[in-house]
Amino acid sequence: MTDARDPLKVAKGLAGVSVADTGISKSDADGSLIYRGYPIWEIATNAGFEETAYLVLNGTLPTKGQLESFTEGLRDRAEVEPKVFRIMRDLGRDAHPIDVIRTAVSALGSIDSEKDLKGKQLSLEAKMSVLAANSHRVPRGEDPRTPRKGLRFTDALLQMLTPREATEYERRVFERVMMLYLEHELNASSFTVRVVASTLADPYAAASAGLASLKGPLHGGANEAAMEMLLDLGDPAKAGEFLQAAFNEGRKVMGFGHRVYKRFDPRARLCKEYLREILERRGGDDRLYRLCDSLEAEMWKAKRIPANMDFFAAPIFYSLGIEIPLYTPIFAASRIFGWMAHYSEQIEDNKLIRPDSTYVGRSGLKYVPIEEREP
Ligand code: ACO
């Protein structure tokens, strides 16, 4: 047993350190990812979004009855009170969409009438997509959009995100991207959610902390940054010199690299294929695909760093006509299901997450009155 006065020192950023047992999902350096035992391509090819969410939350694929009741439960709880939209509107047009959702989720913690834990979690899962879809428009004074009755979860979200009628293939691609974003073991935001859950705070508190963690460009914010970068690059032939400029300035290239995947991110591979198909089916310009392909190849040639999921999800959203500030909110609308799976798993076998630290500061100093301090 480790002596409490002599804590175990682990790698910076907890890289390569296992801090929890989980049965929810697992990613590996070789480019594999499983959800509750199922390889990700099995899920992405065969399942639907609600089915995947049920699997991640409950550990097994649903029966027909279970799926219907879960889907109904989500539909029944999607309505967001006008009071929450007013709070979102009051933040004003310059508010960052993730800050808007986070504030709304905090408000829900006080306003939501759900009594038990499962009801609270379902309510958050259902409302997150409505909050995400409205996180950019409502603070700018536009009327909230609500889900059209009877639509599947991701179809309803897509309909709120863009009034343009998507084709059946585009809706299916959007659903798959949402399934790929749904869960990813101990990423920064899911770990954050588990830390908050371990204090026995409620799911609203945990989800708002998860949102705070997701906002950063090293995590969820990367999909928006990647899209801005692709637009900035513009010409596939300039990918090499574009990257060289980033390296010279010591800038990270958004949408590349991953803590776990060092050869390839399986979600990025799937999304790359979806992007190719979506542009091909539409006919005409495939420049966006060529931009991604050329940047990916040049990055691999220069640094052996693979593209991650965000790099290919962003141009898919762009092709669907979705505004860039909504990309991280979309991520949140999907990842909330993974967060809630982690929340439940954490409290089922809880121990307060409270690590130790190695103190490297000064000690034994004497208090100096303010008038005697050196300027
Ligand atoms: N651009 C340039 N160099 C990179 C990049 C990148 N995107 N990613 C990693 N590197 C380099 C680092 O500079 C470092 O080089 P060094 O050893 O010479 O110092 C080396 O590769 C290792 O990188 P780390 O940052 O230490 O790797 P870590 O596992 O800590 O970071 C991370 C992973 C944060 C995702 C990193 O790759 C990154 O910042 N990527 C850009 C942001 C991004 O796309 N985030 C999305 C993650 S996926 C998701 O949230 C769905």
pLDDT digits (tens, 9 = 90+) for 82-118: 999 999 999 999 999 999 999 999 999 999 999 999 9
Q: pLDDT over 70 for what percent of the chain?
A: 99
Please pick, among 258, 285, 293, 356, the residue that the annotation labels catalytic. 258
Ligand 1 pocket (Cβ < 6 Å) reads 13, 218-220, 222, 252-259, 305, 308-310
pLDDT at 202 over 80: yes
Question: Which CATH number applies to 222-319: 3.40.50.300, 2.50.20.20, 1.10.230.10, 1.10.260.40?
Answer: 1.10.230.10
Domain with CATH 1.10.230.10 in the chain: 222-319
According to DSSP H, which parts of the chain are helical? 40-46, 49-58, 64-76, 82-90, 97-111, 117-134, 153-161, 168-181, 188-197, 203-215, 222-233, 239-248, 266-282, 287-303, 309-319, 327-348
Q: pTM for the whole thing?
A: 0.95
Q: What is the pLDDT of residue 163?
A: 81
CB 268 within 8 A of CB 42: no
Q: What is the pLDDT of residue 284?
A: 80
pLDDT (average), residues 123-142: 98
Q: What is the pLDDT of residue 5?
A: 63
Q: Would you call 310 a catalytic residue per the annotation?
A: yes
* Closest residue to atom 2 of ligand 1, CA basis: 252
Rounded CA separation 65/72 (Å): 11
Q: Would you call 342 a catalytic residue per the annotation?
A: no
- Residue whose CB lies within 8 A of the most ligand 1 atoms, among 191, 258, 271, 331, for a mutation test: 258
pLDDT band at 7 (very low <50, low <70, confident <90, very high): confident
* Distance from Cα 231 to the centre of ligand 1, integer Å: 21
pLDDT at 271 over 90: yes
Cα dihedral across residues 160, 161, 167, 169: positive or negative = negative
- Residue whose CB lies within 8 A of the most ligand 1 atoms, among 252, 260, 299, for a mutation test: 252
pLDDT at 2 over 80: no
Q: Which residue has the tokens 């500061």?
A: 361
* Closest residue to atom 26 of ligand 1, CA basis: 259
Rounded CA separation 23/185 (Å): 9
pLDDT band at 4 (very low <50, low <70, confident <90, very high): low
* Distance from Cα 266 to the centre of ligand 1, integer Å: 17
Q: pLDDT over 90 for what percent of the chain?
A: 95
pLDDT tens-digit readout, 220-261: 999 999 999 999 999 999 999 999 999 999 999 999 999 999
pLDDT at 40 over 80: yes
Q: Give the C-alpha distances (Å, rounded to integers) separating 271 from 23, 77, 173, 257.
A: 25, 30, 9, 16
Return the CATH class of domain 25-216+326-348: mainly alpha
Domain with CATH 1.10.580.10 in the chain: 25-216+326-348
Residue 307 in tokens: 């593209």
Neighbours of 111 (CB within 10 A): 14
Q: What's the first-to-final CA gap in the chain, in angstroms?
A: 49
pLDDT at 169 over 70: yes
CB 360 within 8 A of CB 206: no
Q: What is the pLDDT of residue 354?
A: 96
CB neighbour burial string for 251-270, b if at least 16 within 10 angstroms, e if fewer: eebbbbbbbbbeebbbbbbb
Rounded CA separation 218/267 (Å): 17
